[in-house]
Structure 1
Amino acid sequence: MTAEHPLGIQLYSVRDDLGPDRLDGTLARLAALGFTHAEPYDILTDPAGLAAALRDSGLHAATAHSSVLRHDTAEIVDAAVESGIGTVITPWVAPDSVADRAGVQRLADTLNAAAEQAAARGVRIGYHNHDFEFAQRVDGVPAYEVLAGLLDPAVVLELDVYWAGVGGADVFELLPRLGDRVRLLHVVRDREPGNDRPVLGVDATDRMAEVVALAAPVLELPVVEVVAHHSDVWPLVERNAAYFRELVIA
Structure 2
Amino acid sequence: MTTAPPLGIQLYSVREDIGPADLDRTLARLAGFGFTHVEPFDILSDTDRLGAALRNAGLSAAGAHASVLRHDVTDILDAAQALGIGCVITPYVAPGTIADRAGVEQLADTLNAAAETAAARGIRIGYHNHDFEFAQRIDGIPAYELLAARLDPAVVLEVDVYWAGVGGADVFELLPRLGDRVRYLHVVHEREPGNDRPLLGVDTAGRMDEVLALTAASVELPVVEVVAHHSDVWPLVERNAAHFLTGAAA
Shared fold, TM over 0.5 = yes
Q: Note if 1:205 corresponds to 2:201.
A: no
**RMSD after superposition:** 1.1
CA distance in 2 between counterparts of 1:151 and 1:245 reads 33
CA distance in 2 between counterparts of 1:243 and 1:100 reads 40
Deviation, 1:141, is 1.0
The aligned residue for residue 70 of structure 2 is 70
CA distance in 2 between counterparts of 1:218 and 1:206 reads 22
Deviation, 1:205, is 1.3
CA distance in 2 between counterparts of 1:245 and 1:38 reads 15
1:223 aligned partner, one-letter code: V
The answer to whether the Cα contact below 8 Å between 2:4 and 2:245 also exists between their aligned partners in 1 is: no
Percent identical among aligned pairs is 75
CA distance in 2 between counterparts of 1:102 and 1:71 reads 22
Deviations along 1:18-45, one digit per CA (max 9) or x if unpaired, are: 0101100000000000000000000001
The answer to whether the Cα contact below 8 Å between 2:184 and 2:220 also exists between their aligned partners in 1 is: yes
2:98 aligned partner, one-letter code: V
The aligned residue for residue 119 of structure 1 is 119
Alignment of 1:1-250 (within 5 A): 5-246=5-246
CA distance in 1 between counterparts of 2:138 and 2:5 reads 38
TM-score (normalised: structure 2): 0.96
CA distance in 2 between counterparts of 1:240 and 1:213 reads 17
Deviation, 1:195, is 0.4
CA distance in 2 between counterparts of 1:138 and 1:155 reads 22
Deviations along 1:4-62, one digit per CA (max 9) or x if unpaired, are: 62100000000010010110000000000000000000000111111111011011000
Structure 1 unaligned blocks of 5 or more: none
Structure 2 unaligned blocks of 5 or more: none
CA distance in 2 between counterparts of 1:236 and 1:145 reads 32
CA distance in 1 between counterparts of 2:91 and 2:214 reads 23
The answer to whether the Cα contact below 8 Å between 2:5 and 2:35 also exists between their aligned partners in 1 is: no
CA distance in 2 between counterparts of 1:117 and 1:244 reads 35
Partner secondary structure for residue 35 of structure 1 = coil
Aligned length: 245
TM-score (normalised: structure 1): 0.96
